[in-house]
Structure 1
Amino acid sequence: MANTTDDFKRIVLEDISLIDVRAPIEYERGAFKHAVNLPIMTDDERHQVGLTYKEKGNEAARKLGYQLVSGDTKSKRVKNWLNHIEKNPNTMLYCFRGGDRSRISQEWMKDEGQDITRLKGGYKAFRNYLIQALDPSYQNSTPLLLGGYTGSGKTILLNKLKNSIDLEGLANHRGSSFGSYIEPQPSQINFENNLAYALIKHKQQGHRHMILEDEGRHIGKCYIPSSLSEFFKKGNLILMDVPLLRRVEITLDEYVHDSQKRYLNTYGEIGLEKWYSYISNGIKRIKKRLGGNRYNQVMKQLKDAYNHQIKTGDQSLHTFWIETILRDYYDPMYQYQIEKRTTPIIFKGDEQEVFQYLQEYCQ
């Protein structure tokens, strides 16, 4: 009897590797963590089989599928699966509904002496399981929100805590006009799947509190499901009170030092030009809120810092445009948001004080 499982919790907790045998177009719409797309049919082959199914029925479609994936084509695809399993022995297999594609793939590997478990119900069943974890009723811990002015190092602190969930990390976006990375954000479905993984693991660890950054619902193009976002917003607020100069240092490290390294590693000698364009475009997006005079001031500060860096290698002048944006754009906006908030502020302190408080409060 074919080996199947619907123990989706184990797949999440053990970070089990998965082979997704759906066509690439299906995989791109949404998949799971630790899944690799090694399709049994290409997009074109799947399209041909689909047309045949509509016109001539199931038997004709199955026959065409076996014709399209045969001989060397079949051998290469089976070999790709076996190579992945050799590197990841606990790998499991899925297609969309746990039907023909994963069953046939499983049989072909069995013919080569390789047993593999396939997911009962396939992608659809596992996806439904993960969606359940996004419901507030699934949670058994109380949210605590970590707030503070831009550049306070909230994400740095979150990643030091075992009971935190880094929403920006899951969305691959820093939640600001300058928040995008070179690497694209996940699709909305993949963001939800990754968030569900994090929530399931958090619940399994038995934490009483879930520490999250005080975010809006949208993080770049990704968004937190509405009911879950409302659940998060009910958490009490803890504020990091970090001096402006320290926030400038933190922002310089992240948006200049680290970001430029990423651009240089990706684009080589034109990396700094690409980085400059990325920062310039970020400033343009907030031009209206900055106002004409301040916008021109910030753009000149950026240009002067960039030209100075190109000539000397010194990045220190970037602190000027960073300080202007933090002080004159982000700080007033955050102050306005805090004054409107009705959420109780239960603690306020600097980086170390907040860290110590959270460790003691959450014991």
Structure 2
Amino acid sequence: MRSLSGRFAALASRFRVAFLPGRGYTKNQKVVNQLKPVATYEEIEQQRGDKSILYVDVRSPSEYAKSTIPGAVNVPVLDDEDRKTVGTLYVAGKIDDAKSHGIQTISPRLPEMFSLFQEYTKAYDQVVIFCSRGGFRSSSIFSLLKSLGMNVHRMEGGYKNYRSTINSMIPVLFEKVQFVTLYGNTGTGKTAILEELKKRGANVLDLEACANNRGSVFGGVGLKKKQPHNQKMFESLLVESAAGWKEPLVVFTEGESKRIGQAVLPPSLIDAMQKGINLNIEASLDYRIGQIKKDYLHSNETELLAALDRLKPYLNEARVEGYKEQVRQQDFDAVIADLLVKYYDPRYNFNKKEFSAIFRNEDAAATAEAILEWMRQRND
């Protein structure tokens, strides 16, 4: 498991982002000191070298589910209910009672947690524990494990410290990137083309994957994880994607609105995309219907019907009910064709865009090859 953290130092060097105020870092800089037992996220990444690092998020399951460091595992010190109880006691000024409740809660789980951390320390060079702000939850389990002779570290400042690093990177992350943005009507296979481009070694930014949403009333239909990512997780995944890009920084992405599900594109990303190359992807109606069926029809009927109901603010109710009846009769082609031609296509207005090239897509692999060849000729 090697995510953002495994490539962070090189990323910071590439975009000339200082890890600490007044201190830049390059991948060739010699690291002299060993990592302290308690260190900030910046210090951990400064000194990682070729070490494998596992971040362990000891916040509650709901906090972890909302957003975390990509690749981190969750070993909660307190579950959601106990966290609420401890928090209430702290707010009421009953500090000793809060600590006592926390200790009583964690005690029965200590053998299981100890076994987990034993496995982690054997599998990774460094195991770094963090909570929300580097307080009671991470310090308590860290102190216990250290007292038992286990080689673990604690992130000073916790997830808040990590977020401050991400916030410093986002504004400058895309300054040196040349985006090649794929536009086209719904169902023309833009995401499939991006997947094929990535297979061929191209740099790709899949915004829909980062947002875990496709940006419409059907945005979450058919996705394994139903809840769209919030802004924090979206931004973390943007940075993680950038960490894997190779020189030259030509990056393929898909044209999206400013909002995808719960996430909003950073202004720096929008600006960089607007300065890039625009390609138009076209496809036959039959191909588009097939693509929509492939992406959405592995979900259950209830999910599809609920998504159709969300169209009622935009379409006549009788028309939506007609679509729902066709879905119940499994007449999917008719529903998809009508929605594409009469609803989505008229709404998808990119006539003001200037396109450098148009590609007819009937096979994503072939189209990806054609785009790469076009880019080679263009650069020559």
Q: Same fold per TM (> 0.5)?
A: yes
Is residue 133 from structure 1 mapped to residue 147 from structure 2 by the alignment? no
- Aligned: 1:327 with 2:341: yes
- Equivalent position of 1:347 in the other structure: 357
Give the structure 2 partner of residue 242 of structure 1. 283
How many residue pairs end up in the alignment? 328
Q: Which residue in the other structure is 2:266 paired with?
A: 225
The amino acid across from 1:142 in the alignment is: Q
Structure 1 residues 190 and 18 mapped into 2: Cα distance closer, same or farther (>3 Å)?
Answer: same
Closer/same/farther in 2, CA of residues 118 and 48 from structure 1, 3 Å limit: same
Structure 1 spans left out of the alignment, 5+ residues: 264-272, 310-316
Alpha carbons of 1:25 and 1:319: their partners in 2 closer, same or farther (altered >3 Å)? closer
Structure 1 residue 31 corresponds to structure 2 residue 68: yes
Is the CA contact 1:95–1:101 (under 8 Å) kept in the aligned structure 2? yes
Measure, in 2, the Cα distance between the counterparts of 1:357 and 1:240: 10
> Contact 1:18 / 1:36 at 8 angstroms: preserved in 2?
yes
Partners in 2 of 1:301 and 1:45 — Cα distance?
Answer: 46
Q: Distance in 2 between matches of 1:43 and 1:305?
A: 39
1:277 aligned to 2:317?
no
* Aligned-residue identity in percent: 24
Q: Which residue of 2 aligns with 1:166?
A: 206
Amino acid aligned to 1:277: L
What's the TM-score once normalised by structure 1's chain length? 0.76
1:210 and 2:224 correspond:
no
* 2:178–2:276 Cα contact (<8 Å) kept: yes
Q: Residue 237 of structure 1 contacts residue 346 of structure 1 at CA under 8 Å; is this kept in 2?
A: yes
Match of 2:273, as an amino acid? F
SS of aligned partner of 1:199: helix
Contact 2:52-2:126 at 8 Å conserved across structures:
no
Cα offset for 1:278? 3.2
* 1:332 to 1:158, Cα distance in 2 relative to 1, 3 A: same
- 1:186 aligned to which of 220, 229, 252: 229
> Does the Cα contact within 8 Å between 1:218 and 1:224 map onto a contact in 2?
yes
Query: Secondary structure at 2:165's aligned position in 1?
Result: helix
Q: Deviations over 1:54-112 (max 9, x none)?
A: 66697x57964774456435444434444555666754221233345323322322334
Query: 1:312 maps to which residue?
Result: none
8 Å contact from structure 1 (residues 20, 93) kept in 2 = yes
**8 A Cα contact 1:131 1:193, kept in partner:** no
C-alpha distance in structure 2 between counterparts of 1:145 and 1:43, whole Å: 42
Check conservation: 2:181, 2:278, Cα contact below 8 A: yes
Cα deviation for residue 128 of structure 1 reads 1.5
Structure richer in helix, relative to its length:
1
Query: CA contact under 8 A between 2:130 and 2:138: conserved in structure 1?
Result: yes
Cross-structure match for 2:144? 108
The yes-or-no answer on 1:40 pairing with 2:80 is: no
| Alignment-derived partner of residue 176 in structure 1 | 216
Structure 2: segments with no counterpart, 5+ residues: 1-35
With normalisation by structure 2, the TM-score equals 0.73
How far, CA to CA, are the matches of 1:357 and 1:51 in structure 2? Answer: 58
CA–CA distance in structure 1, aligned partners of residues 327 and 166 of structure 2: 47
CA deviations 1:154-208 (Å, max 9, x no partner) are 0000112231111011111122222213521122221221122112332xx2232
> 1:122 and 2:163 equivalent?
no
Does the 8 A contact of 1:8 with 1:126 survive in 2? no
The Cα RMSD (Å) is 3.4
Between 1:216-225 and 1:351-360, the stretch displaced more is 351-360
Q: 1:17 to 1:106 in 2, by over 3 A?
A: same
1:151 aligns with 2:173: no
CA distance in 1, matches of 2:210, 2:255: 15
